[in-house]
Structure 1
């Protein structure tokens, strides 16, 4: 199955791998692959329910929301219970005092009318008085002397002021007013008749001066309204049981919780879309700036999207266990799976960036208790787990390294769980903490196991060479490696030498030394088809090329490239390794046979007929292997390989390739070529250093004699 998928994948034209249009489409698809699986976690499922129906399902509140109608009812009730705010109106007091003054002035005026009868005076006073007074009181007033009248006027004004300053409510009883007046007149220095008149006038003139303050009352009502706490529907609260009658109250709660189909809010969808879009745009920008090699290769972008989607789906499947009482899916989910796969197959820093996404998704998917759309406990837990998974691998070259990384992730998970437990001052006991820690350990180990399981799948489908895959390919027990050793021991030894040279040179310029080493192992496997036509395998035999025509020798030599590519393809060797077999000679000229045929031919022979088919080296690694291949073969042919001769030979080989344009399609710089030259010379000098000539036994015996 995996081989068939790989063949189908390779059958697609290579143009799509660098197409900018395809790249944009891949990022759009990536956004959808993030958005679609988790959209149901930000918006609850809705139901077609109405009042007076019987619910066919048991529904609980998916989120914590405010019950707007219940809150409004509670506020209205609180406002209705607010008592009016009363305030004393001193203007009324002043007005009543003016009326009192008017009465006494009128009495004084009537007393001065000598030509008017007492009956007429009494009648005039009754008609002009602003308040009703008993007849006997009026008669007494008209009969009082001027000093007594003046004293009565002053005392009346004093008592009215004192009584009304205490506030007179409209609901106050007349008896209460009389009592207050009597209390004020106790100490008045008046005779009994005057005291009685003053009492009657005061009681008649006192008027309510405490009124409802509309502004203060409205302010108090608004304050009370705001102080009423919202009525909340809490997440997990059972709103309706299966088979329960849906009342108006239940219906409004279902509506507030967003469970009714007719008016479910779509805003969470928009919010999630914006968050997803932001991450995808950021990821594209980050790749284009920090990882251009990945950004320009749509295959790797597709690989990245596949890993992200796989990780999200693993989260979703783990979340299905939320109904199990003892199961804690949020702590058991292997969040580090995606980070570990990305770190191995693509890049460690990219894995850390993607850990942010995995943590965000984890906070949404496992949000069972938080009042917010995202449970930040799982965000922190997921991020720490993902970062630990990315950085713990290092340059993993063995599967056991992944298990070790999983153990480290498990430790980090436990530390994160303990930190959250202490940070949140959880009411849970140590037993719960122990259970959470166990699931954290399971998460780390499960991430490692799944990484080991999915790694070969991604390597095979996308042709990705991880360090572990390279180590597997370098195993001498690989079929092609065993054949190379058994059938062409000279080529095998040559390949080992080239591998050592290439790895050292690549590491010196920051290239992939392990890839170059493994590529060098397989670069000459095509020689197995005709091993004795290559000098390293002849072993004191006659060189068959001495008796062959140059054209035939040329075809045999050039064919080893095509034969190697074919063999590697038949054994499903990754394309990156095949490139070494195809590109290590580039389009260089087969000089020996070209010069030989030029001497024998009477007409000029085109160089193109004696050049390797290419292509030229496309990467630094293939270019360096090509240099090391020529350098090793040339230095091995030297009779006396001194350091000076080795360096001179290596520099000539690199100079010839540079002038021939063999490095035009890779990104090797002149500075890197100088570094490569020094590295190759140092390694070759170690191979071909002068050895001490030890005397044989006979010479030793002579010297001892």
Structure 2
């Protein structure tokens, strides 16, 4: 029989695990498909069937940011071509030509000096005699003498007429002319003279001489000197030119088509250039849309896998009831739908995504499930918001939206500390408002853009409204999840613990002994659960209702027997066992009738597991040696949760300790250890997630609690009077 029961239990466990796997997989896939299709248009772009030189029926913007390589190459080519050639100016040539000019003037000055010196010597020689004076040199003779002392290039380039005109010019005027032409030559030659601009350089010299305040007779020879002095002194430098072109090309910014940039206006002709841009950004090629869809699919796979893993962890801890699973799916769909609806409005000016009540999901998930699930889903929702609010520009993410939504949800989770009180949602909403405003200011100060005060005010109002709507939605939706989906929250448990609840009133009035027993078990169980990290409030409320079935036949339970007559003394042990064994299931029936949460019903059904009614079993065995043990065992199920397992222990412990005449510390420790050991050896805790380490902690906690409760009844030895 026991082997058959074990096989049945294993089969039930296998079926249960298989159902969990199917439920988790379907849920993850369902959410993944929903996320994919609701974000698909944010990465998918429309394509157009257009011809060159046709008219655009609508304004088309670029869906991506991409470099127009063809235009970049064109811009580089034009920039390189605009770079002027680089030349080397020969200072040696410049100095040489200026020296030639100065040489002419210096030679004439030297010739004049020699002529004066010879004239003075001749006067001294002929002084006092009648000898004839030597005649002065003629201009031709002076020219002849100049040709003997001037450099060959000068003689070859300058004619005699020019030299004669310079010789005939008074010294002071000639010096002024020298200064003028040398100064202008230095300017022109230092600027560089190339073959193609020799004439312009000569014209520049001539113009400066022409309008100078000089003797008109001197201007012509000066112009001739200028023509002679101006030669090519600037030569093309290949290396410098190439280096300058490379530098110019490297400084050219690439031509980039920005995401959201208008490519063609409605009614505009599609030129070759526009057509090429449309083709470049993929608006003429529908096949390119497969790549963003593949990228989105990979992201959704990661998100769905994360969701599946979190659901698996919940299932492993026996926390994934049907109502909670539906709640997770419903909250996810609600939050993403809200994001999508708000994203349909323009967000360019006032950042309207600040108004989304994203914290609703975080509030609900922490209240209905736990903090870990709330944080994980907060991160997933934030990632999806970055895609949803990307302005339908493939390949881009709205990082501001991602950061804002993540910190808003994290604030909701952090500040919601006392989940047993609905007013705590209002208090945590203030924290969400503060974090929202801080995040908005963060973006303002990080941005280079200048914000108007009115824009900042509007965005701040959006952040406040977001927190307010989150509070309203959370408070409004909590009753739906509690009543319709049957999800048990701490706030619901607090309502059920109210003594004015109909069943608790019935328990108090009809079975006061059982009521007192239930309160004691509740106190002990709550402390033990909190010591091992279980839900103490659930244990307390479950203990309040665990013996509600005793109200069906209260007189058959010893704590309710006000007189000395025990009805079990007058009936068969099997009949007594039947009455006692039925109370967990009578209680579960009443709890279902009053529509109490499944967790409370499970505790009522499981708090005795499949344990043996030893008193009536051995009483029957005294009369019948072949008694069937299964008749005296509860049909189960065994405790499936930590809370049910702890109540199973505390129920027996409280009854046993209460029956002691003198509950000393040693007796209490002995009874608690004995009951826990009995439950373990009888296999009553095999299906609960309680570990041996936790059972040791439970043992110490129960003993400490009972010692405190029965402290006044413990008798201490009195000293004998001497």
**Is the TM value for this pair above 0.5?**
yes
Match of residue 659 from structure 1: 681
Using the size of structure 2 for normalisation, the TM-score is 0.71
Please name the residue that 1:519 is paired with. 542
* RMSD, matched Cα: 4.6
1:565 to 584, 588, 596: 588
Out of 403, 415, 419, the position equivalent to 1:380 is 403
Residue 355 of structure 1 pairs with residue 378 of structure 2: yes
SS in 1 for 2:420: coil
Q: 1:335 to 1:563 in 2, by over 3 A?
A: same
Aligned to 1:136: none
Equivalent runs, 1:300-699 vs 2, <5 Å: 304-322=328-346, 328-368=351-391, 373-424=396-447, 426-459=449-482, 463-540=486-563, 542-601=565-624, 603-690=625-712
Query: How far apart, CA to CA, are the structure 2 residues paired with 1:580 and 1:295?
Result: 13
TM-score between the two structures when normalised by the length of structure 1? 0.73
CA distance in 2, matches of 1:622, 1:524: 13
Deviations 1:399-451 (A, max 9, x none): 22222222221121112212322332541122221211111011111112222
* 2:182 counterpart residue number: none
Once residues 482 and 532 of structure 1 are traced to their aligned partners in structure 2, the CA distance between those partners, rounded to angstroms, is 18
Q: Which moved more, 1:66-75 or 1:617-626?
A: 66-75
1:454 is displaced (CA, Å) by 3.3
Indicate how the Cα distance of structure 1 residues 580 and 295 shifts in structure 2: closer, same or farther if over 3 A, else same: closer
Question: Which residue matches 2:84?
Answer: 83
* Comparing 581-590 and 335-344, the one that deviates more: 335-344
Q: 1:243 to 1:155 in 2, by over 3 A?
A: closer
Q: d(CA) in 1 for partners of 2:509 and 2:50?
A: 78
Corresponding residue number in structure 1 for 2:42: 41
Larger radius of gyration: 2
Confirm or deny: 8 A CA contact 1:168 1:209 kept in the other structure.
Answer: yes
What SS does the corresponding residue of 1:322 show, helix, strand or coil?
A: coil
1:89/1:494 CA distance change after superposition, 3 Å: same
Q: Cα distance 1:472–1:16, how it changes in 2: closer, same or farther (>3 A)?
A: farther
Match of 1:102 in 2: none
Q: Is the 8 A contact 2:318 2:641 kept in 1?
A: no
Write the deviation string for residues 316-359 of structure 1: whole angstroms up to 9, x where unpaired: 1122233797x642110122222222222233234233333333
CA distance 1:661–1:282, shift in 2 (3 Å): closer
Structure 1 residues without counterparts, runs of 5 or longer? 1-11, 94-146, 181-198, 693-705
Contact preservation (8 Å) 1:311, 1:335: yes
Separation (CA, whole Å) in 1 of partners of 2:40 and 2:340: 11
Deviations 1:254-309 (CA, angstroms, capped at 9, x unpaired): 44555445465554444444444445556667887x87846995966775454334
Shift of 1:632: 1.8
Offset, 1:671: 4.0
Change (3 A) 1:480 1:151: same
Asked if the contact 1:23/1:298 (under 8 Å) is kept, the reply is no
SS in 2 for 1:585: coil
Counterpart residue number, 1:101: none
Tell me the distance in 2 between the aligned counterparts of 1:460 and 1:398.
18
Distance 1:296 1:53, change over 3 A: farther
Q: 1:17 to 1:426 in 2, by over 3 A?
A: farther
Structure 1 stretch displaced more, 666-675 or 169-178: 169-178
Query: Which one of the candidate residues 16, 26, 30 is aligned to 1:14?
Result: 16
CA shift, 1:502, in A, is: 0.6
Paired residue total: 610
Distance in 1 separating the partners of 2:580 and 2:531 = 31
- Residue 72 of structure 1 deviates from its aligned partner by 4.7
Structure 1 residues 56, 343: CA separation in 2 closer, same or farther (over 3 Å shift)?
A: same
Report the Cα offset of residue 396 of structure 1. 0.5
CA separation of 1:257 and 1:476: change in aligned 2, threshold 3 A: farther
> CA separation of 1:324/1:179 partners in 2, compared to 1, >3 Å: closer, same or farther?
closer
| Cα deviation code 1:97-132 (max 9, x no counterpart) | xxxxxxxxxxxxxxxxxxxxxxxxxxxxxxxxxxxx
Check the 8 A contact 1:287/1:295 in 2, yes or no: no
Q: Residue 171 of structure 1 corresponds to which residue in structure 2?
A: 196
Distance 1:415 1:276, change over 3 A: same
Task: Structure 2: give runs of 5+ residues left out of the alignment.
Answer: 1-13, 94-146, 158-185, 206-223, 715-722
Q: Is the deviation greater in 466-475 or in 553-562? A: 466-475
Please give the secondary structure, in 2, of the residue aligned with 1:675: helix
- CA distance in 1: counterparts of 2:89 and 2:288, whole angstroms: 53
